[in-house]
Amino acid sequence: MTSATDDQNTPATEAILVIDIGGTNVKFGYSCGGQPLDFRKLYSTDALRAGDPVRALALMIEDVVADTGIEAQSLVVAVPGFIDTDGNSVLHAANVPSLNGRRLGAELEQWFGCPALLERDAVLTLMGERRAGVVQGGDDVLGVFFGTGVGAAFIHHGAPFRGGGWALEIGLMPFQAEGPVPDGVRPQCLEAFASGRALQAIAGRHGVAIDSVFLASRYKPSLEDELARFVQYQAVAIGTASAMMSPATIVVGGGVVDMAGYPRDRLASLIESKLPNAETGRAFDLRWCRHGWTAALYGAPVIVGERRLQVADAGRRGYLWP
């Protein structure tokens, strides 16, 4: 179900091309008239790591448009990292460093001649789950997502909390734990111990395929012990973010928790043990992301509508929008 306020600033026939830049894949889909189309397409993120990443992304977009014949009126790009307050520039994307410092929004706008809006991937996913997922219409909602990296977002009064610009980029928060750090990951931060890249390193050390690492732990006690610490670190991350934001509801998602054999019940129990529910009398309300990455397709119209309101307000105040 979609509320009228979510879509009132997005024309009923508008096509939005949604681009989710993940650490492994760049994923494409369309939202048309506020609803996702069936079309999906994936490209390897490695294409952005060699040469000019904006040109590589633009060529992917051209390929998608050629496949579908759908010319988008807006582009919404989910970025896994820090976005500057200008809404155009990628400050830091740990898993796609080739994007660092690029005015990705402005460059794509120049290439395609339509608005290109950047949004943190965690924000876009959580807004989608609020619009048409497990927390429809919810408020004071914390979302934590474990993919190649770790991202989080918080919704308050129906809008994403941004702090000074990019609040809750918890993947890079200081985090001390024992064990080797995966190559290319900043040491002593959460992503070094609780992300998909950390899980890939664990699977490699034990000689098992990443897709079956949780299933294999049933027969390898040493792997089981290491994965128990991994899940414990994830619970600490969610508990820390909850202590900061005091959410009424927690949404957990991402490719890691969707893997075969992932111990969801164990994670939920660990999270509950770390929260002051008994002391505060607040019920423990944890929900699992319904739509996966396609939640971004539901969240994109909200972001487009929000940006239009900002532009209109800037115009009324006599400001020039960058």
Q: Report pLDDT digits (tens) over 273-285.
A: 999 886 888 889 9
Q: Where are the domains of the chain?
A: 4-121, 134-288
Q: Give the residue-averaged pLDDT of 155-170.
A: 90
pLDDT of residue 139 exceeding 60, the answer is yes
CATH class of residue range 134-288? alpha beta
Q: How far is CA 242 from CA 7, 176, 231, in A?
A: 30, 19, 16
pTM of this structure: 0.90
- The candidate with the shortest Cα–Cα distance to 38, out of 294, 302, 300, is 294
Structure confidence at residue 313 (pLDDT) = 57
For residues 118 and 79, the answer to whether their CB atoms sit within 8 Å is: yes
Q: Rounded to a whole number, what is the largest CA-CA distance in the chain?
A: 66
First to last CA, the chain: 34
Q: Which helix (H) or strand (E) holds 69?
A: none
pLDDT tens figures, 127-136: 999 999 999 9
**Cβ–Cβ under 8 Å, residues 50 and 95:** no
Pairs from 56-61 (Cβ < 8 Å, separation ≥ 24): 57/19, 57/21, 57/26, 57/104, 57/108, 58/108, 58/111, 58/112, 60/19, 60/26, 60/28, 61/17, 61/19, 61/28, 61/108, 61/112
Q: For residues 176 and 188, is the Cβ–Cβ distance under 8 A?
A: yes
Which CATH class for the 4-121 domain? alpha beta
Q: What is the mean pLDDT of the chain?
A: 90
Is it the case that residue 10 has pLDDT exceeding 70? no
Q: Model confidence at 79, in pLDDT bands (50, 70, 90)?
A: very high
Q: Which two tokens stand for residue 141?
A: 């909602």
Report pLDDT for 59.
98
pLDDT score of 261? 97
Q: Measured in whole angstroms, how far is the alpha carbon of residue 187 from the centre of its chain?
A: 22
Both tokens assigned to 8: 């009132």
Amino acid 3: pLDDT: 41
Q: Which of 18, 33, 155 is nearest to 76 (CA)?
A: 18
Q: Mutual orientation of helices 53-68 and 104-112 as an angle, nearest 10°? A: 40
Q: For residue range 15-41, list pLDDT tens digits in order.
A: 999 999 998 999 999 999 889 999 999
- Judge whether residue 5 has pLDDT over 50: no
In the predicted model, is pLDDT for residue 4 greater than 50? no
> Rounded to whole angstroms, what are the CA distances from 311 to 33, 74, 78, 87, 212?
21, 14, 20, 12, 48
Query: 57-66, 126-135, 171-180, 242-251: which range is least confident on average?
Result: 171-180
134-288 and 4-121 share a CATH fold? yes
Residue 190 has pLDDT above 50, yes or no: yes
